[in-house]
Amino acid sequence: MAVNLSGRSFVNMKDLSTEEVWEVLKTAEALKLERFRGQPHPVLAGKTLAMIFQKPSLRTRVSFEAGMTQLGGHAIYLAPSDIKLGERETTEDIAQVLSRFADLIMARTFGHDIVEDLARYATCPVINGLSEREHPCQILADMQTIWEKRGRLEGLTWVYVGDGNNVAHSIMYGGALMGMHVRIATPAGFEPDGEITADASAIAGTKGGSVTVGNDPLALSKDADVLYTDVWASMGQEAEAQSRRGKFQGFQINMKLVKTARPDVVILHCLPAHYGEEIDYETSRLPNSAIFDQAENRLHAQKALMVLLARR
């Protein structure tokens, strides 16, 4: 069956089926190869992307903006002060107005409900650039990187070490959809959302994969194909940063942890990194590390997503 994502929104990782994820990844591979060969691909010429930011960003803004330029379109950056979501104007009105101007909307927000409302009221596709619940665009880039390095996704063991946050949620959904064995290692009390864990586990069960959550990073990292981490305190949690440092001791990707994994383990970090906390610098620069390939793949995966979602 042909995959057709035209006109769809991408708010949650599980908005895509397994086949649709593969369509995104294969499109990303093709676009990346064309860029490497210097072949222009202005397939979104004349299209406009409206980018709503409640949180500042390096990778999200530059990858979407550069990506839209490379596709022949135009991206408009809307800073927090430009819109003031829910203050100066309702999310419903913003969605409807932007839909009259733009062909796609990307939103990087605090509340997940904001992205959901944008998708509910907009008449053009809405992309979740990050919310407190999920970070699905990041996980598309992650899976592209793993596929490039290991040649497959199904059956691989993907271990995440750190906070049970939005990245962990999307890893569980993404890994489950692709038949991977996802293991989440967090300090006690920092586990991912229980409903999301149960939902992702149920999906994994239909794809030959699994989802495991525990509190022992060394045990969970045994024979890992992928080791992944994120900051201990995300944006908006700055007040908790000091207390979290004590609670997260031992939840670091370092040489000790790498030795428990497979020799060809792929080391990933969605960045920005706090070296000496969730990952040490030495480990981040090992030949096994693909953190900058992973960052680059935000560009290619999101270009593929925009190409597939945009209405023709």
Q: Mind listing the pLDDT tens digit for each residue in 145-170?
A: 999 999 999 999 999 999 999 999 99
Q: Which of 151, 184, 156, 160 is nearest to 267 (CA)?
A: 160
CB distance 29 to 144 below 8 Å: yes
Report the half-sphere exposure of 180 (CA within 13 A, side-chain side).
26
H or E element that contains 88: none
Q: Could you read off the pLDDT of 124-153 as tens digits, one per residue?
A: 999 999 999 999 999 999 999 999 999 999
Q: Which residues are bridge partners to 211 per DSSP?
A: 182
Instruction: Give residue 241's pLDDT.
Output: 76
Q: What domains are there in the chain, each with its CATH number?
A: 13-135+298-309 (3.40.50.1370), 137-294 (3.40.50.1370)
Angle between helices 166-177 and 18-36 (to 10 degrees): 100
**CA 129, 130, 135, 136 torsion-angle sign:** negative
Residue 236 has pLDDT above 70, yes or no: no
Burial bucket for residue 157 (CB in 10 Å: 0-12, 13-18, 19+): buried
Residue 179 has pLDDT above 60, yes or no: yes
Catalytic machinery residues: 108, 135, 138, 230, 270, 298
Q: Could you read off the pLDDT of 76-90 as tens digits, one per residue?
A: 999 988 887 878 899
Instruction: Return the structure tokens found at 76.
Output: 């408009």
DSSP character for 215?
A: S
Which segments of the chain does DSSP mark as H helices, in order?
18-36, 59-70, 80-83, 91-101, 112-121, 136-150, 166-177, 194-207, 217-220, 241-247, 255-258, 281-284, 291-309
Average pLDDT for residues 39-55, to the nearest whole number? Answer: 97
CA-CA distance, 94 to 182, in Å (whole number)? 37
The percentage of residues in the chain with a pLDDT greater than 90, rounded to a whole number, is 90
The percentage of residues in the chain with a pLDDT greater than 70, rounded to a whole number, is 98
The set of residues, in sequence order, having a beta carbon less than 8 Å from that of 150 and lying 6+ positions away, is 156, 225, 226, 264, 266
Instruction: Give residue 237's pLDDT.
Output: 67
What is the rounded (10 degree) CA torsion for 269, 275, 279, 283? Answer: 90
CA-CA distance, 230 to 252, in Å (whole number)? 10
Band (1; pLDDT cuts 50, 70, 90): very low
Residue 18 has pLDDT above 70, yes or no: yes
Burial bucket for residue 81 (CB in 10 Å: 0-12, 13-18, 19+): exposed
Q: Could you read off the pLDDT of 81-120 as tens digits, one per residue?
A: 888 787 889 999 999 999 999 999 999 999 999 999 999 9
Average pLDDT for residues 172-194, to the nearest whole number? Answer: 98
Band (235; pLDDT cuts 50, 70, 90): low
Cis peptide bond upstream of 136, omega within 30: no
